[in-house]
Chain A
Amino acid sequence: MNKNALTRVGTLVGFVLILLWCLLPVAWIISLSFKSQEAVTNGSPGFFPQSGGGAGWQNYVDVLQDEQFRRAILNSIGISLTATILSVALATLTAYAVARLEFQGKKFVLTTALVIAMFPVVSLVGPLFDMWRTFGIYDTWIGLIIPYMSFTLPLAIWTLSAFFREIPWEMEQAAQVDGATSWQAFRKVIVPLAAPGVFTAAILTFFFAWNDFVFGISLTSTERARPIPAALSFFVGADPFNRPASLLAAGAVVATVPVILLVLFFQRKIVAGLTAGAVKG
């Protein structure tokens, strides 16, 4: 009994530590975003804004009024969503073949996906930079959408084929025996069963595209296509030796909002998707 109590206390302490680990840095960046720019320039150490050093919502107003930052948000949303939709569509076809069909070259597909998932992206930056300028898609949305797609495909293919393996495909035939047309059987039986997997793959793909930095800084040169992470890193402010920390923090918080919303609403799906690809089911 004593031992049980000890385990329970240990779990409770661990629970608190996990929450601190995950949320403290987030709380910090939010707190920093409320320090005033003058206070930051003069130096304002400490977790919370000092009295008189608070900025209210001013940093958020400034960031959202910044033309470049607004443009970066638009770019990030547009590019990430397009890449996600296209990538998941292609991955769905591939995963269906991997999970349901016997064919030569299945191993090749899975190995290619595995190798690409581990590819050192920076080693592609040089040749892609050169190629994209030749094709005329340097510094455009499509120039980022293409690499995002190819680097999210492995994750999407894994997640989806793990999901598709679990689908009881016999139900399709059962429905047809019961008089459904093959389209009805697909539409009413298979789509609802496959949808959660597709959706999960879409969220993970979106995370990847939203997070990318290497392609974002190397394949863009202006605000025409520059996504948020790149825009944040180039955001220098008036004094290049003294970065506007609190303004950057406000930008960082804005960039994190979509992530937090997705996590809040789809926590269960994300966990299932992340682990489906990693542990043999």
Chain B
Amino acid sequence: MSTSTVNRASDRSRGENRLALKLVAPAVALMLLVTAFPMLRALYLSFFSYSLTAPDEREFVGLDNYATALTDGLFWRDTGNTVFIMVVTVAVELVIGFAFAMVMHRLVFARGLVRTSILIPYGIITVVSGFAWQFAFSNTNGFVNSWLPFVSSDFNWFASYESSMVAIMVSEIWKTTPFMALLLLAGLAQVPEDMLEAAKVDGATWWQRLWKVILPNMRAAIMVAVLFRALDAYRIFDNIFVMTAGANNTESISFLTYRQVIEQFQLGIGSALSVLLFLSVLVVAFLIVKIFRVNLADARQEA
């Protein structure tokens, strides 16, 4: 009898397995078709000197494209820009997003209004955000110069590296802080209320409660939010394209890759850059997971 139950159980689980594979196959196939397959193709093309303007002169060059990219100051400058933007925007968003989440958590009135408003930057097209801020910072048609007391009215934000980067990061931060705030708000809701009460009764100050009770209890939510936002910031492209088009050395690594492939038709070196971009994202993801000890099962949300 016991063997027959086992058999039935394994029959059932085999059937379940088959059904599940049928159900997931289309989605997985499509995801791999558009990512894994092109990525392998990029890896292959990266070993060739290959330009679309002269496709017949394709020639195997081994690792030359990688050597060219890695010894070019441009690659490192753009990687530096990208990392700088990632670190600054995520840090600022974490602080502001947490403050917003605290306010939304405490709010007893107009909750719907606040949530509706906070979804607007989230939903707005990044290109639109880029334009809005570019024109806002413009010295001919914008308002930022007249509102900031310490800059003169004809200050050109897009004339130098530092101020261009500020403008780009403002647009990026404006658009993505709401996402951060909503993730942190969900994390805040998981902090046990009775624990906070107990800490209060024991005489813990606001600051102590924040660091000893609230933050440790929402660690998972913070880590997932940081991981997602950091990798998203690392691919920054739209804002730079719209606001400076890479002028004043404000190019990001994504922008460099795009320029090589689409504007200059250099598929060989462009593919090498694509592979390097992909690898650098892996490195960044690995570092974040290691440094902050993110639990990947949380990110994959396995129950």
Among A58-66, A98-106, A168-176, the stretch that binds chain B is: A98-106
List the A side residues contacting B33 at CB < 8 Å: 146, 150
Number of A-B contacts (CB under 8 A): 330
List the A side residues contacting B182 at CB < 8 Å: 271, 274-275
Q: Judging by beta carbons under 8 Å apart, are B143 and A47 in contact?
A: yes
- B271 proximal to A (CB < 8 A): yes
Q: Judging by beta carbons under 8 Å apart, are A126 and B106 in contact?
A: no
Q: Judging by beta carbons under 8 Å apart, are B174 and A25 in contact?
A: yes
Q: Out of A98, A158, A279, which one reaches B24, CB within 8 Å? A: A98
Number of B residues contacting the other chain (C-beta, 8 Å)? 111
- B118 proximal to A (CB < 8 A): yes
- A181 proximal to B (CB < 8 A): no
Say yes or no: A278-B225 contact (C-beta < 8 A), given A11-B107, A102-B16, A255-B128.
Answer: yes
Apart from A7-B106, A149-B30, A252-B127: 13 A-B pairs, beta carbons within 8 A: A18-B114, A19-B113, A25-B129, A97-B20, A109-B28, A119-B281, A123-B274, A126-B45, A127-B41, A131-B41, A150-B30, A229-B128, A246-B141
Which A residues from 25 to 63 make CB contacts under 8 A with B?
25-26, 28-29, 32, 35, 40, 43-47
A128 nearest in chain B by CB position: B38
Question: CB-defined interface of B193-228 with A at 8 Å, one 1/0 digit per residue?
Answer: 000000000000000000000000000110011001
Question: CB-defined interface of A215-243 with B at 8 Å, one 1/0 digit per residue?
Answer: 00110000000001100110000000000
Q: Judging by beta carbons under 8 Å apart, are A112 and B23 in contact?
A: no
- A185 proximal to B (CB < 8 A): no
Among B66-74, B84-92, B97-105, B158-166, the stretch that binds chain A is: B97-105
List the A side residues contacting B178 at CB < 8 Å: 22
Smallest CB separation, B294 vs chain A (Å): 11
- A residues near B, CB below 8 A? 7, 10-11, 14-15, 17-19, 21-23, 25-26, 28-29, 32, 35, 40, 43-47, 90-91, 93-94, 96-98, 101-131, 146-147, 149-151, 153-154, 157-158, 161-162, 165, 207, 210-211, 213-214, 217-218, 228-229, 232-233, 245-246, 248-249, 252, 255-256, 259-260, 262-264, 267-268, 270-271, 274-275, 277-281
A selection of 15 A-B contacts at a CB cut-off of 8 Å is: A14-B99, A26-B124, A109-B24, A119-B35, A123-B274, A126-B262, A128-B38, A131-B38, A146-B33, A153-B27, A210-B125, A228-B125, A248-B131, A249-B132, A281-B301
